[in-house]
């Protein structure tokens, strides 16, 4: 019997790559995306398109109910939908803060709540949550975005322990810099959302060095391969750093005194 996966944010980037890989391996993949055209395009790769906006309770509830009705099971949830809104803490409007939490955090919460009853009934299942290296650190311009990923890491750690005796596995995927549509959106918002001139220096500086890293970063393939390992391993790890830069940054940020680290970041952010 084929395994059944629900992947959110499957119309592009990591989600699309994973949908292709799992369908090639014989999985039944429901490729969810809020953009109808992007979702429908996944049919080309053998996925089942599912129009789903993770910020809408009704979309998530109906989508999961559809899968259970058609397949009778859900073996994998990949809570991958999300976006970056890079801006200083003060310059990010309250509406923008609420929106990024609604997608990146509460969107994951809606999906977890929707699939867990079926997974508990099955006494099996796997949940993968796309976080980031900034689930461990935070930098200039990334405060609110990093907060969503910190929150997801905390929930994943607790959930992993809570469902361990129910046959359900929980892991996070930690991408670093990767060339997808994510970077253009995040840095575009950083440039367009400026309103306080006192932050001009540090924001231009971080856009220069961090944006430069994004622009020369590799594509999503390495992250997708990591996601496949997490989805198929018999003994999945709690956290999957997706590339060497994630491992290196986690170590650096853990070892360095925070005052020294702040000075390094500010030095890098000189414009």
Which residues are annotated as catalytic?
145, 149
Three-state SS sequence of 108-139 = HHHHHHHHHHHHHHHCCEEEEEECCHHHCCCC
Task: Provide the β-strand partners of residue 33.
Answer: 51
Q: Is the dihedral of CA 1, 108, 242, 223 positive or negative?
A: positive
**Rg of the chain on CA atoms, in Å:** 19
72: phi then psi, degrees, rounded to nearest 5: 75, 10
Category of 90 on φ-ψ map: left (φ > 0), alpha (ψ -120 to 50) or beta: alpha
Q: Which of 15, 7, 14 is nearest to 220 (CA)?
A: 14
Whether 184 contacts 23, CB under 8 Å: no
Residue 23 near residue 29, CB atoms below 8 Å: yes
């Amino acid at each position: 019997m084929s395994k059944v996966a629900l992947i959110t944010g499957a119309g592009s980037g990591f989600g699309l790559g994973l949908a292709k890989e799992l369908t090639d391996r014989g999985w039944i993949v429901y490729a969810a995306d809020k953009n109808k055209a992007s979702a429908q395009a996944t049919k080309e790769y053998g996925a089942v398109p599912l129009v789903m906006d993770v910020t809408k309770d009704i979309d998530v509830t109906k989508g999961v109910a559809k899968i259970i009705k058609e397949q009778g099971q859900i073996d994998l949830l990949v809570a991958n939908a999300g976006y970056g809104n890079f801006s200083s803490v003060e310059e990010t409007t309250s509406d923008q803060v609420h929106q990024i939490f609604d997608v990146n955090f509460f969107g994951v919460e809606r999906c977890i709540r929707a699939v867990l009853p079926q997974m508990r009934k099955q006494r099996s299942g796997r949940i993968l949550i796309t976080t980031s290296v900034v689930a461990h650190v935070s930098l200039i311009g990334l405060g609110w975005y990093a907060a969503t990923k910190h929150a997801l890491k905390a929930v994943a750690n607790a959930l992993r322990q809570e469902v361990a005796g129910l046959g359900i596995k929980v892991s996070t995927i930690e991408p670093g810099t990767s060339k997808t549509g994510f970077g253009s959106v995040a840095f575009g918002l950083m440039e367009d959302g400026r309103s306080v001139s006192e932050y001009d220096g540090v924001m231009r500086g971080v856009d220069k060095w961090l944006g430069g890293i994004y622009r020369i970063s590799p594509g999503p393939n390495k992250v997708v391969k990591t996601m496949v390992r997490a989805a198929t391993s018999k003994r999945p790890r709690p956290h999957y750093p997706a590339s060497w830069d994630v491992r290196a940054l986690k170590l650096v940020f853990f070892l360095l005194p925070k005052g020294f680290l702040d000075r390094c970041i500010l030095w890098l952010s000189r414009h």
